[in-house]
Amino acid sequence: MSQPPEQVDALVVGAGPAGLMAAEMLGAAGLRTVVAEAKPSPARKFLMAGKSGLNLTKDEPIPRFMSAYGPRPPALQAALAAFGPREVIGWAENLGQEMFTGSSGRVFPRAMKASPLLRAWLARLDGQGVELRRNWRMAGLGDAVEFDTPDGVHCVSAGVVVFALGGASWARLGSTGAWTDLLSPHVALTPFAASNVGLSIRWTPHMRPHFGRPVKGVRLHAGELESRGEFVISSSGLEGGGIYALTREIREGAPLYVDLLPDWPDMKVQEALARRKPKESTSRFLSRAFRLPPEKRALLMEFAGPQPEDLSRALKRLEMTGAVPRPMDEAISTAGGVRFDSLTEDLEARARPGWFFAGEMLDWDAPTGGYLLTACLATGRHAALGALRAIS
């Protein structure tokens, strides 16, 4: 005879930043809260993101901050308005983490790593009585949530459930998107797509010496998006923040253009071209007249040829043809997921009262630079507050 489901006040499925923030809010309210995590340890993607410096948020005015997100339904806007950059900084400082803001407005812990913050966070949750259960993989949904655990199948019945199951990139860290099969009967879903991902380009042999070189001082644009960030020429294509910021338009088929001389007005470029010496090679001229470094000259030759018919256009609007997004599992994040129109403004499923959703599993998109983590934290908090209202 099977055991009856375990009864708890609140269940959080997923121990990434969105799930842990939801658990913090629920535990602080005195609810008996259980967090179920499929992996042996929590917040694996969070820890990986912090290896090169944990960019927790972006310190800029809320209207400008919100403009980075797409789409921006009312529930996401409300979550970010209530827990935006200033609140994220204060929350991290309250966990004993000294924060600093870089010249670009990006905010980091002084320690740069994610692990000190995570240790302090888990200690806070433990002090609230929140129970973290590792290697618990969601296996079924009904009146109770069924898990495959090291001790066999276990069912949990909760007053409220917050799902924070992540997107569909970096499968080795737990974000597989496999939850869609279980949840698709209950909420509407937008198919996942790669976001903040590098581009594949089949280079000609002359590009090989430039693999690994950063390209700085450029302006990139695709469709309605523009970026002044740098990127790196890799053996497989292009990587880096400047490229990631344009993923949304590139995956919709918009061509990618680069302005190799963003601080040169068109007239100044034309004047320099008019002074070109007779019989001077294109490469030598570009180096002399524009101080164009080897990697920029190589890109111009790759996409416009050794003797561009319109050199002015090639310098200011070079189309990088053949660039396509890398596979989704290589993406930093994903767009798509649970559609907001199947949720209330409290992030509660319209078809399943008592079920709430948070984090990257929601259908929103944003570039790197602190926007991703802030939205995960903000929606985790927002979903938990909705859950508390539902059971009050």
Q: 282-312 pLDDT, tens per residue?
A: 999 999 999 999 999 999 999 999 999 999 9
pLDDT mean across residues, the chain: 96
Mean pLDDT of 180-191: 97
Q: pLDDT value at position 327?
A: 95
**How wide is the angle at C-alpha 90 spanned by C-alphas 29 and 169, nearest 5°?**
80
Q: pLDDT value at position 2?
A: 62
Domain hosting residue 74, numbered range = 6-195+330-391
Percentage of the chain beyond pLDDT 70 is 99
* Number of other CB atoms surrounding residue 48 within 10 Å: 14
Confidence category of residue 52, pLDDT binned at 50, 70, 90: confident
Tokens of 198: 């590098």
pLDDT digits (tens, 9 = 90+) for 2-44: 689 999 999 999 999 999 999 999 999 999 999 999 999 999 9
Same-domain check for residues 211 and 191: no
Same-domain check for residues 30 and 166: yes
Of 69, 109, 104, give the one whose Cα is nearest residue 89: 109
Same-domain check for residues 36 and 102: yes
Same-domain check for residues 169 and 283: no
pLDDT digits (tens, 9 = 90+) for 124-147: 999 999 999 999 999 999 999 999
Confidence category of residue 1, pLDDT binned at 50, 70, 90: very low
Position 123 pLDDT exceeds 80: yes
In a domain, 1, yes or no: no
Task: Say how many domains are in the chain.
Answer: 2
Instruction: Please identify, among 278, 305, 325, the residue that sits at the C-terminal boundary of a domain.
Output: 325
71 preceded by cis ω (within 30°)?
Answer: yes
Kindly report the backbone phi and psi dihedral angles of residue 105, in degrees, each rounded to the nearest multiple of 5, phi listed first: 95, -5
Confidence category of residue 51, pLDDT binned at 50, 70, 90: confident
Give how far Cα 40 sits from Cα of 12, 149, 378, Å. Answer: 16, 11, 25
Same-domain check for residues 153 and 17: yes
Give how far Cα 61 sits from Cα of 65, 79, 127, 307, Å. Answer: 6, 15, 34, 46
Mean pLDDT of 350-370: 97
